[in-house]
Amino acid sequence: MSASARRFLSLALFVTMAAATLPAQYLTEESLAEQLQKLTAEKIPALREKAEAGEPASQFLLGLAYHFGKPVDKNLTEAERWFRRAAEQDHAEAQFWLGGMYSEGEGVTKDLGEAVKWIRKAAERGHPKAQNDLGYMYRRGEGVPEDHAEAVNWYRKSAQQGYAVAQNNLGLSYLAGAGVERNAEEAVRWFRAAAEQKFADAMSNLGDCYSEGTGVAKNAKTAWEWYRRAADTGDAEAQFNLGVKYANGEGIEQSYKDAMKWYRLAADQGHANAQYHVGMMYAHGQGVPQDWCETVKWYRLAGEQGHPRALGNLAISYRNGECVEKDPQAAVRLLFAAIERGHVRSRLILGMCFAEGDGVERDLVEAYKWFTLAEWDSDVQRQRVFDFLKERMDTEQVAEAERRAKEWREQHPN
């Protein structure tokens, strides 16, 4: 999750978390989100006057207004300026947001070292969101050496203040044994603490624990209840996961119709994997009547977000002219995009394109290369294709194709 996304989540959580959850010094009479919502253009001159006079709370709120473009024009340079003035007066929330801007390169040159500097200042002042983010940076090695034990240290500080995101992260650390001795029961405890605050990721993780019998007695019904509660929060990932459970009949009676319902809810929020699955449901007529045009529509939406399988399947639609005008060149471009994102099946289709000269100039060396890199449904099929190519290629061409395949593997180790 990016720093800006984490900060937005942090802001949103202020609305839903009880006042006792965070130290009073980090909550005004109204939450930050509510303050920003009530800030009107008419109030800006008075706010600016207080900010210019050096009042850190006003400086921070003015920075927040510029950051979100409400009720002033969005101006990240101005946001950074006002956050900095407040941060230099030890305003923890401003330090946290200033660090986030450096983490993302918003209005400033991206600088993870500077990001850590300001986030650490806020964390050391007891700011729970900053403590969580500092833990995240230690876990990922962003601006600091990777150190899972230090990540756990900061997650714990934040989690003990009741911050749901950190509680979930601490649970994940215990579950993986990352930076702390593996303890599934402790993981469940922290997942539950976050889940009780209606944090969707934690609800889903708790569902997984019940589904697999990790840290708790295995209970498919309870697992499904947590998955459903997570999805009911409106979280797209949780909705998608519930769709998967219905599609596979995991902990609940299998139902393609209900799977489609939850996939669609997530897809309508822009969840790429859900969009791909909606396309697949239309392709197979599962839960909905089969409809190739709807299939292509949803593959396209997922593909625009770089979903590998959606790109690969969309390429086949262009290659065959399925609910789109046949366009072999577009198919080849999509195949290359899918391959770069790790879609192995597209290597086989691209090999066919080169072998047939479909959308690209016929090139048996390139065809041999991509067939070498492909995964085959059967050894018999693979052998027939290579026998066919070798009858039409000389020894040097085969060697060149194998060299290219080896070079590609070295350049794409994963």
The structure tokens listed for 42 are: 């008419």
Where among 105, 130, 146 does a domain terminate? 146
143 with 137: CB under 8 angstroms? yes
Judged against a pLDDT cut of 70, whether residue 198 lies above it is answered with yes
Average pLDDT, the chain: 92
**Per the domain annotation, does 299 fall within a domain?**
no
Q: Where are the alpha helices (DSSP H) in 199-324?
A: 200-212, 220-232, 236-248, 256-267, 272-284, 292-303, 308-320
Percentage with pLDDT > 70 across the chain: 93
Q: Which domain holds residue 130?
A: 1-146
Provide the pLDDT for residue 21.
Answer: 37
The residue length of the chain stands at 414
The DSSP code sequence of 106-127 is SSS---HHHHHHHHHHHHHTT-
Summarize the confidence of residues 245-272 as an average pLDDT: 95
Where among 146, 162, 195 does a domain terminate? 146
Q: Global pTM?
A: 0.77
Would the CA dihedral through 328, 333, 339, 343 be positive or negative? Answer: negative
- Looking at the structure of the chain, the number of domains it has is 2
CATH number reported for the structural domain that contains residue 122 in this entry: 1.25.40.10
Task: Give the C-alpha separation, 232 to 180, whole Å.
Answer: 32
Judged against a pLDDT cut of 70, whether residue 306 lies above it is answered with yes
**Per the domain annotation, does 1 fall within a domain?**
yes
Task: Give the C-alpha separation, 143 to 380, whole Å.
Answer: 51
Task: Give the C-alpha separation, 206 to 201, whole Å.
Answer: 9
**Per the domain annotation, does 168 fall within a domain?**
no
Where among 146, 168, 190 does a domain terminate? 146
Q: Where are the alpha helices (DSSP H) in 268-412?
A: 272-284, 292-303, 308-320, 328-340, 345-356, 364-373, 379-390, 395-411
Task: Tell me the CA distances in angstroms from 310 to 30, 280, 307, 315, 339, one per residue in order.
Answer: 44, 9, 5, 8, 11
The structure tokens listed for 158 are: 């934040």
